[in-house]
Structure formats: C-alpha cells, structure tokens
Amino acid sequence: MEKKVHYEGLTDAEVLESRKKYGANVLTPPEKDPLWKQFLEKFEDPLIIILMIAGVLSIGISFYEYFGLGEGGEVFFEPAGIFVAILLATGLAFYFELQADKEFTILNQVNDDEPVEVIRNGNVKQIPRKDVVVGDIVILNTGEEVAADGELIEAVQLHLDESTLTGEPVCGKSINKEEFDKNATYPTNHVMKGTKVMEGHGIFRVLAVGDTTEQGKVFEAAQIDGATASQILFKIKIPMIMPSVTICTFLTLTNGFKMFDQNLSLTGGDPGKQSQLLALNIYDTFYARSGAQWKGIGQAKAVVFFLLVVAIALIQLRATSSKEVQQ
C-alpha cells in the first residue's frame, strides 16, 4: 500500500524571507512612453504616411489653383478633408489603444488576485496568485492556471496546455522517469507559469516566480528587443490569452444563436414577435402554424440555420485561432 506523504510547506517566516530574496510573483510592467510619443507613433502607419503625402500634394495643387488660376477658397476643402481624416484615424486608434491597455492592466490585476491553493505551516490554504513565493508547495487541479514555475512532486493523469509558451495544446506531465519525454520543450516533471491544467491534478514546489519564470523571460526579451508597450500588448500578451478568448467566443457565439428556452420563457417573442430569436422563429414556423407547407418551411429554416451557425462558428474559430501563439 502506497504511503501518503504529508507536506508541511513553508512557515510564515520562510515566506517573508523568500519574498524578500526572490520578489513577488508579478511581472514587471514595461516602461510606458509619454502619451505624446504614443500618439506620434500612430503616424508611422504606412496608410497614414500615404494619406499625408496625398494631403501635401493636394495642398500644392490647391495653392496653384487659388493663386495661379484664380479659383475660390473652396479648392482647399479637399486637402482639409484629407488632414481631418488623418487626425480622426490617428486619434481614434490612439484612444482605442489606451482603452485596451487600461482594460488589460485591470485584467492582469484580476489575474494576479486569483486564489491559489498552497500548503503552508502544514495546512492547505488559499492565497492570491501574486503572493506565491519560491519554495511554496502548490496544489494543481483541473481548469486552473499554473501560478509559477516549479517541479512536480506529485502528478496524477496530469496534462497541461502549454500553447502560451510552446504552441503545444496538450503536454503530459509526470514524475516517473520512465515517462519523461526527451523531445519536450520543458522537462516532463516541470510546470510553467501561465500554462493551464487540462486534465488531472498534481502538487509542485515553486522554483521561480515573477520575472524569473519562463513567461517573465518572454516579456523581458521583448523589452530588450525594443518592443513598445503597445507592441507587447498586441503581439505578446493578447496572443498568449487567445486560446481562452477562442474558446469563450466560440461557445458564446454558438450558444447565442441556439438560445431558445430563455427566449420562450421570458418574452415568447412578444411584442409582435419583435423579440423572437431565430431558434424560436423556427419552432413557431413548424409547430404554431397548420398546414404541411409550414412543416417544410420550418425544416428548411432549421437546415439553413444549422449551416449558418456552422459557417459563422468556423469563420470565428479560424479568425481567433490564427492569432494564437505558434512556435
């Protein structure tokens, strides 16, 4: 009979010492450029450059028509319109990027506050993800995100989604040397921060937190290569969470199209069928009207509806999955 191991974990004093030595389990945000510099970066877009060249040429032509040909001031309407369009395009792009950056900062803060099960002082307790320290013993369950880099000390049918780091959606993890995969990007008995438990459960001891994790090294490498905050956001951070976005969007979209019972119980399509969704419309066509022709129309609607949902779902799936990290 296998003997059950009892883990003590770190004491409160050891936690404070570890946090002082290795730091908190958060990624250091990159230094942001001043707002004026972020705005000027929008004028580096090739389309904006083309519009500015067209605007300058249009101004030259307008001056010739005004002074050379004696035409009225309306000749300046065209170049003015071009530069108004440029300001609108750059202004909106700058605004939406700022909003996206703010929302992503909030998302990161929420992610850092997600509860994690750890063993400390011989007891299992929940702490925010950002409070995990090197040496902590962390419990992994299905559906959870790995809080830090670490070495497994227990693993039962454990499979992780490492697509955020390696592009591999399913990686088997084990502590048995016979099951180690020599071709794996990371050791079979190691787990990495930011990956997700797809199946099974396990326990691991934290080896690295924050910027020293593999995820942290990705962000650091991007900053060393000169990536701006917006480039890191759109080229690294968002692609790293795209697997979750893909799944959530796919399920929300398809379930939205298939919604029937809520529509029937809440409004029944009233008033005047103005709140009737497609699924309820098909139901009414087939059952609420008499005559064989309506049965055929209802069946035809159902087939077209099925093909529509499949087509839209596949287009959405392809569009979002193409933005995921591939290595």
Give the pLDDT confidence of 29-55 residue by residue, as tens digits.
767 778 888 888 888 888 888 888 888
141: domain CATH number?
Answer: 2.70.150.10
On whether the CB atoms of residues 164 and 323 are closer than 8 A, the answer is no
User: Percent helix, strand and coil across the chain, each rounded to 5?
Assistant: 55, 15, 30
Give the pLDDT confidence of 197-220 residue by residue, as tens digits.
988 999 999 999 988 898 888 777
Distances, alpha carbon 224 to alpha carbons 217, 219, 221, 227, 232, in Å: 10, 9, 5, 7, 11
What is the pLDDT at residue 237?
65
Question: Across residues 313-322, what is the average pLDDT?
Answer: 69
Q: What is the C-alpha separation between 282 and 302, in angstroms, rounded?
A: 6
Q: Are residues 19 and 161 in the same domain?
A: yes
Q: Counting every residue, how long is the chain?
A: 327
What is the pLDDT at residue 148?
92
Domain housing 231 = 227-321
Question: Across residues 297-302, what is the average pLDDT?
Answer: 84
Q: Are residues 160 and 231 in the same domain?
A: no
- The model's pTM is 0.55
Q: Is residue 117 part of a domain?
A: no
Question: Across residues 74-88, what is the average pLDDT?
Answer: 87
Residue 240, CA atoms < 13 Å, CB-side half-sphere: 21
Q: How many domains does the chain have?
A: 3
Q: What is the C-alpha separation between 216 and 31, in angstroms, rounded?
A: 15
Distances, alpha carbon 297 to alpha carbons 195, 273, 286, 305, in Å: 48, 18, 7, 12
Q: Is residue 221 part of a domain?
A: no
